[in-house]
Amino acid sequence: MTQHELMLAAVLLPFATALLIIICGRFPNLREAVTLVGAGGLALIVFKLISSFDATTATPLVLAEILPGFRVMLRAEPIGLVFAGVAAGLWGLNSLYSIGYMRAEHAPRQTRFYACFAVALGSAMAIALAGNLATLFVAYEALTFATYPLVVHWQTEGAIAGARRYLAYLLATSLVPFFGAIVWTWIATGTLDFTPGGILDGKMDDGLLAILLFMFAYGVGKAALMPMHGWLPAAMVAPTPVSALLHAVAVVKAGVFTLLKIAVYIFGIEVIGRGVGDLLVVVAAASVIAASLIAMTKDDLKARLAYSTVAQLAMVTLAVALGEPIAIAAGILQLVMHAWGKITLFFGAGAIQLATHKKKLSEIAGIGAKVPLLMIAFLFGSLSVAGLPPFGGMWPKFLLLEASVDRHMVVLTVCLGLSTLLTLGYLVPIFIQAFFRKPHDEDPHHLPEKDEHHHEEGSLPVLALIPPVVTAAGCVVLFIAAPAILGFVAPVIGLGVLP
Amino acid sequence: MTLLPASILAHAPVLVVVLPLLTAPVIALIRDGRIAAPLAMIIAWVDVVIAFALLNQTWDGTVVSYALGNWSAPIGIEYRVDLLSAGLAVLLTVSGGLVSLMMATGIAPEMAPGDRSRLYAAFLLCLAGLLGIVITGDLFNVFVFLEISSLSTYVLIASGSSRDRRALTAAFDYLILGATGATFFVIGIAFLYVVTGTLNMADLGDRLPMAGKRAVIVGSSFLFVGIALKAAMLPLHRWLPNAYAYSPTVMATFLAMTATKVSIYLMIRLADVVFHTPGELGRVNFAALMPPVGLAMLVFGSAIAITARDLKRLLAFSSIANLGLMLVALGLGGVAGIAAALINLFNHAIIKGGMFATASAIMHRRGSTQLAAMAGLSRQMPAAFAFLVIGGLALIGVPLTAGFVSKLSVVRVAVDLGDWVVAGGILFSSLLTVAYIWRIFEATMLAEPAKDAPAGDMHPAFWLPVGLLGAGTVVFGIYSAPIVELSTRIALQMAGGTP
Amino acid sequence: MKDLVGLFPYWAVIVLMMTGLYIVIAQGNLVKKLIGLGIFQVSVFVLYIAIGVVDGGTPPILDDAFSVYSNPLPSVLILTAIVVGVATLAVGLALAVRIREAFGTVEEEDLLPLTGPDQPAVTDLEREARS
């Protein structure tokens, strides 16, 4: 298949899968087989796209023209392919996990669940392969709407309220500042195509560019830059596989990916680096620290992870705002590494809940003995997110530090160091609690709490255990693979010599 | 390409109006609704063909002039069809045609069988009146057709009285306001006639610059108020919500697609008369009034829609908001502004028509369009629900729907002119749209269904109109060229250029 | 003074117009509203006839003895407008009758509480059952 066909297939396959899922809705086994086949097929296609990618022959594929000059078109380029690879690779694992989780929970409306999942992945593919800002916006909105039914899945009052917040934040940001910034860019430059080196240089003065950058940074609500992060904890009402999708694979990564694309292909890295992004650096750094501190106060595991995501995403925004090739490289790596690390943590949190019916840090004391493999995977994920070797998460932290030193931002360097400590501070206690504390019912200081809903012991389906173990192993593999990824994206971000 | 034989084509301008006008009394006399309805349907569709023939004839910029009864212009009445007229005629006839398809079925739960053929007659009269407005070149003739359409509209609205007696008061209120507005319109005509000596709209624009200032100001003010009332321009909007909410749902569909659109047509047609560049003649500059009033309508209409408890009322207030958007575009002016207004006009007819047609199907099946009565719709009437979703997303302005094209075209003009207040206002209002659309979704998707809800999806009679309008909403959102091209050509022709 | 006398028809038009409009707005009785509407429309008829008059002209009947005619067109137009006015009045009165049947009143202040958007819908069937 040619590159164009592959791109089209990558975008359309998930939608076709969704359709088949709906058709097979009455037969759960068949339906889930369709999901897995679709995920496998997508992974193959994306792998083919990446392996056959050649920058010199990449041409855009125009699909439609919504208004003269406002085109929907696809175009493969390295950063997008990296994102596509992450999303396609994790969809299969997430689907496996979903099957285990949803069946164990006897969840209703599973057909809708898998169909929306596929549509969300298709939207993510379209975001990854978007050839211009217009297409990216189209796919970005599609992703928002496709994930709404997933967030609201339980349809309890709390879920409806949480989903409302989710939607309100994402649409308020995308329909006002993001869309406004796109139209502004369009009018100012006459194009929206992603062009290496950017299209905005010289079209407006730096002050306006800084405003435009802020409009983008807050317009892309999925990047969850504080204080526009409120949707992320609110969306925790979703089933855990969805949270994993939202906070590791599709939604938040689509957000920071959009920012990276805008930095590289709309503004141009140098334009941001000459001072346009400086204010954003401050905001993003503050967001990193603040979110980490909040995460430490959260008892609910998923809420803790959500705030952790806010902090880790802000690092990508920070990378974008620094406007240095090496920082952009860090941003791209962070996108990959955080995806694998955080999905491990979410898989872990969900599996803990399945196995023990516990959702809170204060309740999980001593569960390590019950699910040792799971908790070790959890530890791997935690260390990777915090940025310790030998886990993939080390690379972005390291490169960001280097960028901050390059730009002589001492305070920032300190902030980054601090953030690693804070990350350890809110993630490692989960592990400690699980392994080194006694369970409450054996602890004389705690009275056993009566749980109204779950009397029987939970069990951990094997399908819910394999994915976190695989992703945890992936964190280690990525530590080794990181230079290859860097080499892949180096040409487009102007990174000459590999560090 | 010719759609009709030359001998018929030569009389097409008058045929398109006269055909429904003359057959209406015949249909009123046929007692049996089962004969009357198909007859009305045939007439409506013959009209569609004639309208398309006119569009075909005028596409290249030709202006077809037809002297009624062979009396030439100063004494007789000239029918004058340019692209604007033909475009509107197509919109009106297609609306009429689609509504005629579901009319007989849709009216069943809302009206006694014996009265129905008279309703069909009123429907054809209304169609004839509206068509007359857009076809004629004579200002007084516009008034006459305005009254024909208005009188039949009062009847259409009042026909809802067997389901809800408030239809009567709604019709009466509209009658008082409408008749007052029409009288204002005639007063305006009188003043303009006095100072120019002509009623031909084409001549009127040419002669106005030589006319006395004060009479023109007074005359155009009266005209403007008359038109504004029919366009439901704030604060003259009071008739619209009740008229849409209490009229039989199929007829509300027709009114929503056509009635107010014709007022927008008049504003464009009479732009030389009622709006003018400031200063030149000291004329009142109504164009400057449009953006603020339009914005107010956008915000007000959307905000009230959020509080509505009935789908039809909600859609009615949404119509006020959308009319506001058209007025904003008109007020921004220029070729791009007028084109944007027309894009909105056509797209809104399709989107809102689809929503109302779906409401008709729901009303037919369930006997109510109260939001509270629509619980469980997503399961029990999945097709109807799907079309509500399509229409709702289009109203929000989600990409790949016609609504996005509309919104984008206006925002682009506003940003191009540097009018940030207008651009921001439009973007902000889409958030309010999300709020009211989401009330529909939550009511239909998340609420627990009633046990005794009538089974079955849409009646087959609704499939074609609902399906076509829904498909149009999506197709014109992706392949927008037909509507954009038509609107741009019209705008160019109105501005004196060649399309 | 010349204005007052010379433009007498126009003064009359203004008075009629304002009277009619005032009645439409101020009266709560639907039938009276319609009467006001009628007066308002009649004022326009007068306006049209007045603007057709040419000083010193005769009625527009062709005759060799006269050379200055009044403009016939406004009168012709207003014939149409009269028809329209009558039709409007007829529909309006018919509605008033139906409103009286359905609500038992044609007074606006009595109707308002019955016609709010949150009132329950009353169908023909329910009405017949009640009466």
Of the listed ranges A228-242, A401-415, B365-379, C53-67, the least confidently predicted one is C53-67
- Smallest CA–CA distance from B109 into chain C, residue: C123
B197: left (phi over 0), alpha (psi -120 to 50) or beta: left
Interface test with A, best of B429, B430, B486 (most A CBs within 10 A): B430
Nearest-Cα distance to chain B for A184, in Å, is: 7
What is the 3-state composition of chain A as percent helix, strand, coil, each rounded to the nearest 5?
Answer: 75, 5, 20
CB contact under 8 A, B161 and C47: no
Distance CA A213, CA A220 (A): 11
CB contact under 8 A, B400 and A137: no
Distance CA B47, CA B31 (A): 23
Read off the pLDDT of each residue in A337-353 and give the average, rounded to a whole number: 89
Are the C-beta atoms of residues B343 and B405 closer than 8 Å to each other? yes
Evaluate the CA torsion angle B259, B265, B270, B274 in order and state its sign: positive
Q: Which pLDDT score is estimated for A451?
A: 45
CB contact under 8 A, C121 and B162: no
CB contact under 8 A, A141 and B398: yes
Interface of B with C in 294-333 (CB under 8 A): 308-310, 313
Question: Counting beta carbons within 10 angstroms of the beta carbon of residue C8, is it exposed (0 to 12), middle (13 to 18) or buried (19 or more)?
Answer: exposed
Q: For residue A141, how many other CB atoms are within 10 A of its CB?
A: 24
Judge whether residue B258 has pLDDT over 90.
yes
What are the CA-CA distances from residue C17 to residues B148, C41, C82, C86 (Å)? 23, 8, 16, 17
Q: Which pLDDT score is estimated for B368?
A: 86
Q: Using alpha carbons, select from C106, C103, C110 the residue that is nearest to residue C131.
A: C103
CB contact under 8 A, C118 and B179: no
Beta bridge partners of A309: none
For the stretch A470-481, pLDDT in tens is 999 999 899 988
For the stretch A228-263, pLDDT in tens is 888 888 888 888 888 888 777 888 999 999 999 999
Pairing of strands A70-74, A61-67: antiparallel
For the stretch A22-76, pLDDT in tens is 998 888 889 888 999 999 999 999 999 998 888 777 888 888 888 888 889 999 9
Which chain A positions have a beta carbon within 8 Å of B378's beta carbon?
A: none
Evaluate the CA torsion angle B446, B449, B453, B455 in order and state its sign: positive
- Of all residues in chain A, the percent with pLDDT exceeding 90 is 35
- Of all residues in chain A, the percent with pLDDT exceeding 70 is 95
Nearest-Cα distance to chain B for A67, in Å, is: 7
Q: Which residues of B463-485 are buried (b: 16+ CB within 10 A; e: fewer)?
A: eebbebbbebbbbbbbebeebbe
- Token digits of residue B123: 């429907």
Mean pLDDT computed over every residue of chain B: 89
> Do C and A touch, counting CB pairs below 8 Å (3 needed)?
no
Distance CA B327, CA B287 (A): 9
Longest Cα pair distance anywhere in chain A, in angstroms? 73
- Smallest CA–CA distance from C100 into chain B, residue: B168
Q: Give the H or E element holding residue A414.
A: helix A410-436
Judge whether residue A422 has pLDDT over 80.
yes
Which chain C positions have a beta carbon within 8 Å of B176's beta carbon?
A: 24, 33-34, 37, 92
CB contact under 8 A, B427 and A142: no
Q: Which pLDDT score is estimated for A452?
A: 44
State the helix-helix crossing angle for B33-58 and B83-107, rounded to 10 degrees: 160
Q: For residue B430, how many other CB atoms are within 10 A of its CB?
A: 26
The reply to whether omega before A390 is within 30° of 0 (cis) is yes
DSSP result, A46-94: HHHHHHT--GGG---EEEEEEETTEEEEE---HHHHHHHHHHHHHHHHH
Distance CA B255, CA B316 (A): 10
Find all residues with CB under 8 Å of B366, minimum gap 6, and list them.
B373, B374, B453, B454
Which chain C positions have a beta carbon within 8 Å of B245's beta carbon?
A: 117
DSSP result, A194-260: --TT-S-TTTS-HHHHHHHHHHHHHH-GGG--TTTTTHHHHGGGS-HHHHHIIIIISHHHHHHHHHH
Which chain B positions have a beta carbon within 8 Å of C30's beta carbon?
A: 172
Interface test with C, best of B118, B125, B168 (most C CBs within 10 A): B168
Which chain C positions have a beta carbon within 8 Å of B155's beta carbon?
A: 91
Read off the pLDDT of each residue in B302-318 and give the average, rounded to a whole number: 94
CB contact under 8 A, B169 and C44: no
Mean pLDDT computed over every residue of chain A: 87
Q: For residue A80, how many other CB atoms are within 10 A of its CB?
A: 28
Which chain A positions have a beta carbon within 8 Å of B419's beta carbon?
A: none
- Token digits of residue B248: 């039989």
CB contact under 8 A, B176 and C92: yes
Q: Give the one of B398, B405, B434 whose C-beta lies nearest to A67's C-beta.
A: B405
Confidence of residue A496 (pLDDT cuts 50, 70, 90): low
The residues on B that touch A, with CB distances below 8 Å, are 393, 396-400, 404-405, 408-409, 411-412, 415-416, 423-424, 427-428, 430-431, 434, 438, 442, 446, 477-481, 484
State the helix-helix crossing angle for B116-135 and B83-107, rounded to 10 degrees: 170
Q: Which pLDDT score is estimated for A494?
A: 78
Distance CA C77, CA C58 (A): 19
Q: What is the CA radius of gyration of chain A?
A: 22
Which chain B positions have a beta carbon within 8 Å of A180's beta carbon?
A: 411, 415, 423-424, 427
Judge whether residue A497 has pLDDT over 60.
no
CB contact under 8 A, B144 and C84: yes
Q: Which pLDDT score is estimated for B334?
A: 82
Q: Using alpha carbons, select from A491, B479, A490 the residue that is nearest to residue A499.
A: A490
Query: Which phi and psi (to 5°) does residue A24 adopt?
Result: -85, 15
Q: What angle do CA B268, B273, B279 make, to 5 degrees?
A: 110
Q: Give the one of C81, C96, C119 whose C-beta lies nearest to B186's C-beta.
A: C81
Residue owning tokens 């204060």 = A362
CB contact under 8 A, C91 and B176: no
Nearest-Cα distance to chain C for B411, in Å, is: 34
CB contact under 8 A, B479 and A64: yes
Confidence of residue B212 (pLDDT cuts 50, 70, 90): confident
Polymer length in residues for chain B = 499
B401: left (phi over 0), alpha (psi -120 to 50) or beta: beta
Judge whether residue A205 has pLDDT over 60.
yes
Interface test with B, best of A153, A176, A192, A218 (most B CBs within 10 A): A176
Are the C-beta atoms of residues C88 and C37 closer than 8 Å to each other? yes
Q: Using alpha carbons, select from B365, B338, B324, B357 the residue that is nearest to residue B470.
A: B357
For the stretch B157-209, pLDDT in tens is 999 988 888 999 999 999 999 999 999 999 999 998 888 888 888 888 778 77
Which chain A positions have a beta carbon within 8 Å of B432's beta carbon?
A: none
CB contact under 8 A, B484 and A68: yes
Q: Give the one of B399, B416, B484 whose C-beta lies nearest to A141's C-beta.
A: B399
Distance CA B456, CA A143 (A): 31
Q: Give the one of B416, B434, B484 whose C-beta lies nearest to A67's C-beta.
A: B484
Q: Is the ipTM of this complex over 0.95?
A: no
Between A and B, how many residue pairs show a Cβ–Cβ distance under 8 A?
A: 71
Chains that touch C (3 or more CB pairs under 8 A): B
Judge whether residue A409 has pLDDT over 60.
yes
- Smallest CA–CA distance from A165 into chain B, residue: B435
Q: Give the one of C87, C118, C122 whose C-beta lies nearest to B165's C-beta.
A: C122
Judge whether residue C83 has pLDDT over 90.
yes
User: What is the Cβ-side half-sphere exposure of residue A388, based on CA atoms within 13 angstroms?
Assistant: 13
Judge whether residue B281 has pLDDT over 60.
no
Distance CA A481, CA A392 (A): 8
Confidence of residue B277 (pLDDT cuts 50, 70, 90): very low
Confidence of residue B276 (pLDDT cuts 50, 70, 90): low
Which chain B positions have a beta carbon within 8 Å of A67's beta carbon?
A: 405, 408-409, 412, 480, 484
Query: Mind listing the domains of chain C with CATH numbers?
Result: 2-130 (1.10.287.3510)
